[in-house]
Amino acid sequence: MSKILIVEDEDVIADLEKDYLELSGFQVELAADGNKGLQKALEEDFNLLILDLMLPGVDGFEICKQVRAVKNMPIIMVSAKKDDIDKIRGLGLGADDYMTKPFSPSELVARVKAHLTRYERLVSSNARENSVIEIRGIKIDRTARRVWVNGEEKNFTSREFDLLAFLAENPNHVYTKEELFREIWDMDSVGDIATVTVHIKKIREKIEFNSAKPQYIETIWGVGYRFKV
């Protein structure tokens, strides 16, 4: 059974989310402040995290950043302010989805299910193939979802990893931002193609010696990107 952590300081909302998710067969734990939420998310194993932005103690931005540095599970961020959602996107903290309050609990359940299905499919298909891609100093272990650059391990968010792995699996193929967005962010209800640009930038900062002159992920002006071999 999938286990979900909800970090939310408004009891009414937290209880509502918990009730709906439990009715859908999920096991749910609550944390009502940021410090407790961060600690639970880091120390215990959850399949998915639902994270409110404004919290007493550590805020949602910081929790997302710290959790993402060490864990790959899907993170859905929620906020009462549309502006905050734009800010979260811009920061590229590695959240997988964003919802603006108020939202319907059934929509939350639908998104939770979609993210879990997608994540589990990725993890299990990687396990079956047990594949490692090595190209000019970059080693991508799809099974363990780990990346090394010239022997040094780098931390990737789940979407950054998916994007890098997809490009590296299809070298010399030029993809448009729209194609990459469809491939990696397969729920058309959220996000936009600007997200692709942000993620490419983050990946380059980790794998390229000089991000301004990328040796791996090339920009094909007016078209998109390709992984060069």
Q: Which residues bind Ca ion (CB under 5 A)?
A: 9, 52, 54
State which residue, 31 or 167, has the beta carbon closest to Ca ion: 31
Least Å distance, CB 81 to Ca ion, is: 10
Which CB atom, from 108 or from 180, has the smaller least distance to Ca ion?
108
Residue nearest to Ca ion (CB): 54
Please state, in angstroms and rounded to a whole number, the distance separating the CA atoms of residues 60 and 200. Answer: 24
Q: Which CB, 17 or 160, lies closer to Ca ion?
A: 17
Nearest approach, Cβ of 51 to Ca ion (angstroms)?
Answer: 10
Residues forming a β-bridge with 146? 141
Smallest gap from residue 25 Cβ to Ca ion (A): 26
Q: 85, 76 in Cβ contact below 8 A?
A: no
Shortest distance (Å) from residue 139 CB to Ca ion: 41
Q: By C-beta, is 93 or 167 nearer to Ca ion? A: 93
Shortest CB 59 distance to Ca ion, Å: 9
Smallest distance from the beta carbon of 95 to Ca ion, in angstroms?
Answer: 16
Nearer to Ca ion, 33 or 141 (CB): 33
Cα gap 171→152, rounded to integer Å: 22
* Phi, psi of 2, deg, nearest 5: -75, 140
- Shortest distance in whole angstroms from residue 61 CB to Ca ion: 12
Strand order, beta sheet including 217-220: 175-176, 224-227, 217-220
Phi and psi, residue 167, nearest 5°: -65, -40
Cβ-based nearer residue to Ca ion, 9 or 183: 9
**Which residue in this structure is represented by tokens 């040796």?**
215
> What does the DSSP 8-state code read for residue 178?
H
> How far is 88 from 65, CA to CA, in rounded Å?
11
Q: Which is nearer to Ca ion, 9 or 29 (CB)?
A: 9
Q: Which of 181, 143, 138 is nearest to 159 (CA)?
A: 181
Burial classification of residue 222, based on how many CB atoms lie within 10 Å of its CB (0-12 exposed, 13-18 middle, 19 or more buried): exposed
For residue 29, which of 3, 57, 53, 48 has the smallest C-alpha distance?
3
